[in-house]
């Protein structure tokens, strides 16, 4: 129990899990967007990977005791981070809080102690790794042109930058779990994992599903608000060092390279499951 708690705190900082998440938005808000891509796409996911490989696999008895609290924490995290994200003026901080919210689904999948839920958590780790990195990349390309990060100072970018607008819109839809994208499949499978779990009472499963569904309703609010504030309306930019040119071949190549696996996983998630199913069954055999 002591070792489990120590590793849980360590991975909660890394993941991050509330209330140990406060370093992440400030880091994303100040860091260069290439650093944000590495942080959102790879480094945060190592915390979730550690929860699966160390906390679940090595300390299975302690995990079975802690998992109801993880489920409660994950549900709170989804709603709290989604609500907080909507109040952020800084574009990168808003995307950072959306990352914290999406990590809540991974916690729910890990806490469900079901093969469906854990497979969904692994799929969400991979899916959000692509989507989060792509959103920070597009936020960085927008900053390179406008030299602005605050959403209330932006607007009207869709007309001078249609390619950035199109890719940003598609990836925002992927983040809010549009069917056909990897985020939809991952979150849906996590829901199935919660409902089919044998660990919890029926009323608790219904309550967690209901609370999580509220978080999924809040997600489109802050993501569509980003699109509205950045790309719609009219704004005359008098900012020095602003360059109104659209995405070039290099940026299009990076964006499309990230977008292809997001759509591919959404259409055919069995490709990911073919690698994870056997190991998930081996981990859950300890419970």
Mean pLDDT of the 91-112 span: 89
Listing DSSP states for 62-116 in one string gives HHHHHHHHHHHHHHHHHHHHHHHHHT--BHHHHHHHHHHHHHHHHHHHHHT-SHH
| Residue corresponding to tokens 């390279």 | 257
Cβ within 8 Å of residue 149, ≥6 positions away: 29, 90, 91, 92, 143
Task: Give the global pTM.
Answer: 0.89
> pLDDT per residue over 161-191, tens digit each?
888 889 989 999 998 888 888 889 998 898 8
Mean pLDDT of the 52-81 span: 89
Quote the strand ranges of the chain, DSSP E. Answer: none
Bridge partners (DSSP) listed for residue 90: 150
pLDDT of residue 276: 83
Does the pLDDT of residue 147 top 60, yes or no?
yes
> pLDDT per residue over 239-285, tens digit each?
555 566 777 788 889 889 999 999 999 999 888 888 888 888 888 88
> pLDDT per residue over 186-230, tens digit each?
988 988 888 888 888 888 888 888 888 888 888 888 888 888 888
Listing DSSP states for 176-188 in one string gives TT-TTSHHHHHHH
């Amino acid at each position: 129990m002591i070792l489990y708690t120590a590793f849980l705190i360590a991975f909660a900082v890394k993941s991050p899990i509330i209330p140990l998440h406060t370093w992440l938005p400030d880091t994303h808000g100040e860091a260069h967007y290439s650093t944000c891509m590495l942080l959102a796409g790879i480094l945060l996911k190592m915390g979730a990977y550690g929860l699966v490989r160390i906390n679940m696999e090595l300390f299975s008895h302690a995990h079975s005791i802690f998992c109801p609290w993880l489920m409660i924490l994950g549900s709170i995290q989804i709603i709290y981070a989604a609500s907080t994200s909507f109040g952020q003026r800084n574009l990168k901080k808003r995307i950072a809080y959306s990352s914290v919210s999406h990590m809540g689904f991974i916690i729910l999948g890990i806490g469900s102690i079901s093969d469906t839920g854990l497979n969904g958590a692994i799929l969400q780790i991979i899916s959000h790794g692509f989507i989060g990195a792509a959103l920070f990349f597009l936020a960085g390309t927008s900053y390179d042109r406008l030299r602005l990060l605050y959403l209330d100072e932006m607007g009207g970018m869709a007309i001078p930058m249609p390619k950035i607008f199109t890719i940003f819109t598609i990836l925002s839809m992927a983040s809010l779990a549009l069917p056909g994208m990897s985020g939809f499949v991952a979150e849906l499978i996590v829901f199935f994992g919660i409902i089919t779990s044998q660990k919890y009472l029926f009323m608790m499963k219904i309550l967690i599903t209901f609370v999580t569904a509220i978080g999924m309703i809040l997600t489109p609010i802050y993501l569509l608000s980003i699109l509205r504030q950045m790309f719609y309306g009219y704004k005359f930019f008098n900012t020095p060092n602003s360059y109104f040119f659209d995405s070039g071949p290099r940026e299009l190549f990076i964006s499309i390279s990230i977008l292809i696996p997001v759509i591919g996983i959404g259409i055919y998630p069995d490709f990911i499951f073919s690698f994870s199913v056997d190991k998930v069954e081996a981990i859950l055999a300890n419970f």
